Structures are given as structure tokens and as C-alpha cells.
């Protein structure tokens, strides 16, 4: 185990890159949080750092995001070898490979209709559709956070545990129960080029805790912003130093 120091000046113990697999969250981890999901900016130097990292760890670089896979493709193109989207509901294990989709219950159309009405009624809020759930964003109207939560909690009382409400960053996400980033990490680690390596998972949010726990369970390391890195810029600087040191 080795590695450069984090911005907090404590040396981070991670496996040698020749034995490591990197599984990285996207929003709030690789890129800074932005006012809207579309307005995220991928810093100019990040693609090159990630490509070097992928080369140094034998292609074992994955992005594990709450976003659908096509959005990660839009921002990062062919940089990661594998992508897990929607917190593990959709996984593409290799470049150009088929997307493996978990069999999940369909979101009741009534909830979607109610969610649309609710977000139409609150300027600054918005509804994001996902394959097996949806997100109520309130970054543009923080005062609406509580009402969105209350309404979504009411819909979920009829779900009999099939769906749950997940707190996200200035958002509430209605998610199917049973699949999380821990599942995604375990599934990715079963396949080439990840299998046999030690996972290094980095995230920033509550949903990343499952990924962190899974990485540790599998003999690797789980790191979190702001515990191990002050912010995404500090993580990017650490990754840049890591690839320079070993490159
Ligand atoms: O698992 P992640 O890759 O971290 O994705 C989590 C969610 O990210 C997006 O929403 C969040 O980021 C937006 C852009 O910075 C921000 O505007 C929003 O307030 C955040 O909640 C994305 O829209 C969600 O689908 C992801 O689940």
C-alpha cells in the first residue's frame, strides 16, 4: 500500500496501482457540484489524468454514479472502462458492452404525474426521470425541500418497501429498494479487469457509503469527500500526483 498525501496531509494508504481497481463516483467527487445536472463542468485536465490512471491500473477504472449511463458517457466518453449507472441498476462492464439491467418494479405512473405537478407548482424545482425511479431536485428553490420530502414520503406509504426515499444533495430520490452502489462495486469486481484487484472507491454522498463499505469488505479502500479530501479539486490534485508518481 502506498500513495501521495491528501490535502488533509495524512498519507492515504492505497494499494499499488498495479494491484488496484479504481471505482469513482462522479458528481461532487470527480466534478464539482453545479447548479443543474446539465451544467456540470469536466475540468480540462481531468480526462488526461483519468486516462493515465486507467493505463496504470490495467484498465481497471470504473465510474459508479447515480446518473444514468448515457449521462456519464456524455461527460466522460470512453475514459472509464466500465460504468455503473443509477446506483448500480444499470452496469456496463466493458467498453461497448451490453448494459446489464437489474429487474426492478415499475414506478407507479401516478407518482410520476404527482411529481410533475408538484415541480411545476414550485419554480426552481425540477423532476429528473430515471429508468427505475426519479429525483425531485430543489437546488433552485431550497425552501421547497421539506414539502417535496413530505409529498414523496406520502406516495411511498403505498410502496410496501419496494421503493424508498433517498436524501441526496439538494434533492430527494425515489429509488427501488435492493440495489445500491455496494451491489455495483461487488458486481464490477467480479469481472475482468477488476477481478483479483483491490478496489479503491471514492465518493462524497450518503449513497456512496454502500460503495465505500463494499470496497472495504472486498479488501480494498473506501475514501470520502470531505473526510479524506476537502473537495473534488483536492481529489483531482491527489489523482494527478498519483499518476505522476507512478507514471
Ligand atoms: O452518484 P453521483 O455521480 O454523485 O450522482 C448523484 C446525483 O447527481 C446529480 O445531481 C446532483 O448533482 C447536480 C450537478 O452538480 C446538482 O445540480 C444536484 O443538485 C445534485 O443532486 C444527478 O442529477 C442525479 O441523477 C444523481 O443521482
Asked whether residue 145 falls in the same domain as residue 93, the answer is no
Asked if residue 12 is part of any domain, the answer here is: no
Asked whether residue 78 falls in the same domain as residue 23, the answer is yes
Residue located nearest, by CA, to atom 6 of ligand 1: 66
- To the query of whether residue 25 is one of the catalytic residues in this protein, the response is yes
Residue 8 has pLDDT above 80, yes or no: no
Residues within 6 Å of ligand 1 by CB: 25-28, 33-37, 40, 65-67, 128, 135, 137, 139, 168-171, 205, 207
Asked whether residue 71 falls in the same domain as residue 168, the answer is no
Which domain covers residue 86, as residue numbers? 17-102+179-246
Q: Which helix (H) or strand (E) holds 99?
A: strand 99-101
- The 10s digit of each residue's pLDDT in 27-76 is 999 999 999 999 999 999 999 999 999 999 999 999 999 999 999 999 99
- The 10s digit of each residue's pLDDT in 179-195 is 999 999 999 999 999 99
Q: Tell me, what CATH number does 167's domain have? A: 3.30.70
Residue located nearest, by CA, to atom 5 of ligand 1: 66
Asked whether residue 29 falls in the same domain as residue 84, the answer is yes
Torsion of CA 229, 205, 93, 6, to 10 degrees: 10
Q: Which of 24, 25, 27, 184 is the best mutation target for the ligand 1 pocket, counting ligand atoms within 8 Å of the beta carbon and taking the most? A: 27
Q: Between β-strands 82-85 and 61-64, what pairing exists: parallel, antiparallel or unpaired?
A: parallel
**In the chain, what percentage of residues exceed pLDDT 90?**
89
Asked whether residue 25 falls in the same domain as residue 94, the answer is yes
Asked whether residue 81 falls in the same domain as residue 172, the answer is no
Answer with the one of 120, 141, 176 that is the final residue of a domain: 176
Q: What is the ipTM of this complex?
A: 0.98
Predicted pLDDT at 197: 98
Asked whether residue 76 falls in the same domain as residue 94, the answer is yes
Residue 159 has pLDDT above 80, yes or no: yes
Predicted pLDDT at 246: 75
Residue located nearest, by CA, to atom 25 of ligand 1: 67
Please, what is the Cα angle at 195 between 192 and 199, to 5 degrees?
Answer: 120
Q: Domain count of the chain?
A: 2
Asked whether residue 184 falls in the same domain as residue 96, the answer is yes
209: phi then psi, degrees, rounded to nearest 5: -60, -35
Asked whether residue 202 falls in the same domain as residue 169, the answer is no
Report CA(151)–ligand 1 centroid distance (Å).
21
Asked whether residue 165 falls in the same domain as residue 184, the answer is no
Mean of pLDDT values over 16-28: 97
Q: If we measure between CA atoms, which residue out of 172, 243, 181 comes closest to residue 24?
A: 181
Mean of pLDDT values over 135-139: 98
Q: Tell me, what CATH number does 205's domain have? A: 3.40.50.1000
Asked whether residue 95 falls in the same domain as residue 183, the answer is yes
Predicted pLDDT at 80: 98
Residue 212 has pLDDT above 90, yes or no: yes
Amino acid at each position: 500500500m502506498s500513495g501521495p498525501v491528501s490535502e488533509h496531509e495524512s498519507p492515504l494508504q492505497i494499494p499499488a496501482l498495479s494491484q488496484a481497481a479504481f471505482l469513482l463516483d462522479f458528481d461532487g467527487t470527480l466534478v464539482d457540484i453545479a447548479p443543474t445536472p446539465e451544467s456540470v463542468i469536466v475540468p480540462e485536465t481531468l480526462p488526461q489524468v483519468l486516462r493515465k490512471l486507467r493505463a496504470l491500473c490495467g484498465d481497471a477504472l470504473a465510474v459508479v454514479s447515480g446518473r444514468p449511463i448515457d449521462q456519464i458517457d456524455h461527460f466522460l466518453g470512453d475514459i472509464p472502462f466500465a460504468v455503473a449507472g443509477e446506483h448500480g441498476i444499470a452496469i456496463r462492464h466493458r467498453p461497448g458492452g451490453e448494459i446489464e439491467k437489474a429487474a426492478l418494479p415499475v414506478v407507479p405512473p401516478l407518482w410520476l404525474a404527482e411529481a410533475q405537478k408538484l415541480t411545476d407548482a414550485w419554480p426552481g424545482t425540477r423532476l429528473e426521470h430515471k429508468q427505475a425511479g426519479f429525483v425531485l431536485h430543489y437546488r433552485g428553490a431550497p425552501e421547497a425541500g421539506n414539502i417535496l420530502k413530505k409529498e414523496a414520503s406520502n406516495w411511498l406509504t403505498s410502496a410496501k418497501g419496494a421503493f424508498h426515499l433517498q436524501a441526496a444533495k439538494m434533492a430527494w430520490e425515489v429509488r427501488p429498494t435492493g440495489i445500491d452502489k455496494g451491489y455495483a462495486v461487488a458486481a464490477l469486481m467480479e469481472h475482468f479487469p477488476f477481478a483479483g484487484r483491490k478496489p479503491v472507491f471514492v465518493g462524497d454522498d450518503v449513497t456512496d457509503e454502500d460503495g465505500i463499505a463494499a470496497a472495504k469488505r472486498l479488501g480494498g479502500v473506501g475514501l470520502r469527500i470531505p473526510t479524506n479530501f476537502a473537495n473534488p479539486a483536492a481529489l483531482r490534485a491527489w489523482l494527478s500526483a498519483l499518476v505522476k508518481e507512478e507514471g
